[in-house]
Each structure stands twice: as C-alpha cells, then as structure tokens.
Amino acid sequence: MRNAGNVTEACRLSGINRGAAYKLRDNDPAFAAEWDEAMQIAMDSLELEAWRRGRDGYDEYVTCKDGLVYDQDGNPVLQRRYSDSLLTTLLKAHRPEKYRDRSTVDMNVNTDIAALIDEGRKRARGG
C-alpha cells in the first residue's frame, strides 16, 4: 500500500483478494493501524510530488498539429512547466487561514412580523 497508494493495486501486487484485505482491516486492529500508516506514507509521497511539480516544474514535450516538435539536431523539444494549481492546493491545505476560499453572505432582512401575522390570520378566516 505504501508504494501503490491504492487498495486495489496494493492487493494485486500482494496477491490477495481486495475483499479479504478489507475484512482483515476490519477485524485486526494492528493490521488496520499498518493500513492507515501505509496510506499516510503514500499520501505524503503524492504531496511531495505535487510540491516538486509546482516548485521545480516538470518537462513536457512540445507538440504541434503534426506531432512532436524537434530541434535542429533531431531531438524532441522539451519545455519546463509548473503547476500553479498544485501549489494553490497545497497552500490551501497547509495555510487555510490565509489561502482558503472565502465566501461571505451579507444579508439584511427587514420584515414586518406583525403584518405577516395579520395577513396569516386573515387567510385563516377566509378573507
């Protein structure tokens, strides 16, 4: 699970049935603790990769309608890309007080309660 980060894939790699793995987790507290620890390690790995892609970037082949673009030596051209969205997601997770999405609702309701009660009474009397 630490390497796969996915129950189905971890079961496939381990050669055990997915249902049996869940049953073992439900019935064995020690196994459940190891399961949770393995998932935390896998998620830490994903978080580290998100950090790397956002901060250091990643290489992506340059393409056009005809396929890959090549340099004058015949090598495929690579372009460094960065993921602002991954960095934003990490900031929202780790610094929510500063980077979380904010929405506020400002409502001012002025209602004449007495008039509503009178209107309801009139309807109740059939008038």
Domain edges within the chain: 7-103
pTM summary value: 0.62
3-state secondary structure of 1: coil
Under 8 Å between Cβ of 86 and 46: no
Cα separations in angstroms, 100 against 11, 22, 24, 93: 36, 34, 38, 8
Report the candidate in 7, 12, 40 with the shortest Cα–Cα distance to residue 23: 7
Q: Where does the chain show beta strands of DSSP type E?
A: 58-61, 63-64, 67-68, 78-81
Per-residue pLDDT at 104 exceeds 80: no
Under 8 Å between Cβ of 4 and 42: yes
pLDDT in tens, 56-67: 999 999 999 999
pLDDT in tens, 17-47: 999 999 999 999 999 999 999 999 999 999 9
Dist. CA 25–CA 34, nearest whole Å: 9
Dist. CA 70–CA 84, nearest whole Å: 27
